[in-house]
Amino acid sequence: MIPEAVVQITSVTSLKTASFNNDFGEYSYKNVKESLMFGYELKPIADNRTIQFATPEKALLDLLYLYPFYDSEQELEELRLDEDYLQDDLNVDLLMEYSAKFQSKALDHRVKLLLKTYDL
Each residue of 82-104: pLDDT tens digit? 999 999 999 999 999 999 999 99
The b-or-e profile of 75-104 (16+ CB within 10 A means b, else e) is: ebeebebeeeebeeebeeeebeebbeebeb
Q: How far apart are CA 41 and CA 89, in angstroms?
A: 17
pLDDT band at 1 (very low <50, low <70, confident <90, very high): confident
Give this prediction's pTM.
0.89
pLDDT at 6: 75
Using DSSP bridges, classify how beta strands 8-13 and 50-54 pair: parallel, antiparallel or unpaired.
unpaired
**DSSP letter for each residue of 85-116:** HHHHT--HHHHHHHHHHH--HHHHHHHHHHHH
**pLDDT for residue 5 is more than 80:** no
**What average pLDDT does this structure show over 27-32?**
93
21: three-class secondary structure by DSSP: strand
